[in-house]
Amino acid sequence: MISVFGSKYTQEDIDAVVQCLESNWTGIGKNVTAFEQQFRERLGSEHFMMVDSGSNALYLALKNLQLPKGGEVILPSFTWVSCAQAVLLNGLVPVFCDVDLYTQNVTAELIAEKISNKTAAIMVVHYAGLPVDMAPILALGYPVLEDAAHAVDSTVDGTYCGVFGDAGIWSFDSVKNIAVGEGGGIWFKEKERIDQSRMMRYCGIGFSGFQAASNNNDGNWWEYDIQQPNVKMLPSDIEGALAVVQLKHLPVNQQRRKAIWDYYQQAFANTAAVTIPVACKPNETHSYFTYFIQVPAARRNALAKHLYEKGIYSTLRYHPLHLNAIYQSTASLPNSEQLNATGLNIPLHQNLTDEQVELIAVTINDFL
């Protein structure tokens, strides 16, 4: 079966994990520190930290933006579950907005329709790694959280997505462009907020161990300074070790992802039944996290099943959140609902061979 998402590990990844194991220390340590330092240099900001998942990064980001309880957070419905869960877990109210049919991204106009006197923040998602048009969204004047889970290699005028607003998050889970098993990253514009998050990722402990001892005249290094209730959100040093190597290999892997994405763009250019994704602008870079096509609704499910029978896995990212009963949404979001009926993500990752990519394109074109 050809998988729809995938990650690639080289001998260097394996060696890094083995080295970590041989050091007999797998908890947070020098590998996480090294990755954080490299990622900070890449972002051009010190205010970045690794955590154990993108989902927890979303939770921490909303928590430390310190929004008023009961405030509304406007977010796309066409995104991953964690985005809405993070809102609810912070005592805030998710307000789902639509996305553009062709970019699958939110726009300032679509967000503006949802603004009320309770609006506390806006969450945007750079879908597939195509940068959201941030300037008009920032101009709306609300705190903005950027979900760059798909967008680790996406830039606008040389600046990485994730640092345009007040907070940004990344995911390094097992299917992302940097894949470490489970892992995430968080950035804040303001230093105090990242410091607060660092305390929270370790059970809300401000000082610990020897740090505590050096601040304590009695030298009792076993005493902690617990500042806030929170669970543990620390990444392990195995994940840190993988993250360092995955970041190093990112340019090579991105070249492969782009080559496949370009191949599909050409292969489907003359297939009337396929709407291909929008390319990024000349001043932007794309992360090519996933390849999303739109096909006639009447044929989408049959196409997915046909591909499955041919050994090709496809999926839909995402089943719109506002259609899930738990969120009790009464919103009508025509574009998200249309994408739910017509959309299909087909395989895109650096493990695919040229023959597999060709087979996927030919199978889709022949079927349609």
Ligand X SMILES: Cc1ncc(COP(=O)(O)O)c(C=O)c1O
Q: Which residues bind ligand X (CB under 6 A)?
A: 53-55, 58, 79-80, 82-83, 125, 147, 149-150, 171, 173, 184
| Shortest reach from residue 184's CB to ligand X, in Å | 5
- Residue 57, token pair as written in the block: 């990064």
| Shortest reach from residue 220's CB to ligand X, in Å | 37
- Residue 231, token pair as written in the block: 């669970």
| Shortest reach from residue 53's CB to ligand X, in Å | 4
Q: Is residue 287 within 8 Å of 175, Cβ to Cβ? A: no
Give the 3-state secondary structure of residue 26: coil
Alpha helices in the chain (DSSP H): 11-22, 30-43, 54-64, 81-89, 108-112, 134-138, 191-201, 209-214, 237-267, 297-309, 334-342, 354-367
Residue closer to ligand X by CB (options 274, 349) is 349
Residue closer to ligand X by CB (options 20, 60) is 60
> Which residues lie closer than 8 Å to 329 by C-beta, 6 or more apart?
77, 94, 96, 321, 322, 323
Residue closer to ligand X by CB (options 147, 153) is 147
Q: How many secondary structure helices (H) and strands (E) does the chain include?
A: 12, 14
Q: Is residue 57 within 8 Å of 83, Cβ to Cβ? A: no
| Shortest reach from residue 58's CB to ligand X, in Å | 6
Cross-strand bridge partners of residue 169 = 147, 186
| Shortest reach from residue 52's CB to ligand X, in Å | 8
Residue closer to ligand X by CB (options 299, 319) is 319
| Long-range contact set of residues 296-305: C-beta below 8 Å, sequence gap at least 24 | 296/342, 297/338, 297/341, 297/342, 299/273, 299/367, 299/368, 300/341, 300/342, 300/343, 300/344, 302/367, 303/344, 303/364, 303/367, 303/368, 304/344
- Residue 267, token pair as written in the block: 């292969």
Residue closer to ligand X by CB (options 58, 276) is 58
| Shortest reach from residue 76's CB to ligand X, in Å | 9
Residue facing ligand X at closest CB distance: 54
Residue closer to ligand X by CB (options 51, 267) is 51
| Shortest reach from residue 211's CB to ligand X, in Å | 28
Tell me how far apart the alpha carbons of residues 60 and 46 are, in angstroms, rounded to a whole number.
Answer: 17
Residue closer to ligand X by CB (options 114, 150) is 150
| Shortest reach from residue 112's CB to ligand X, in Å | 22
If we measure between CA atoms, which residue out of 15, 32, 70, 21 comes closest to residue 233? Answer: 32
| Shortest reach from residue 339's CB to ligand X, in Å | 14
Residue closer to ligand X by CB (options 16, 128) is 128
Residue closer to ligand X by CB (options 93, 125) is 125
Pairing of strands 119-125, 72-76: parallel
Q: What 8-state DSSP symbol labels residue 327? A: G
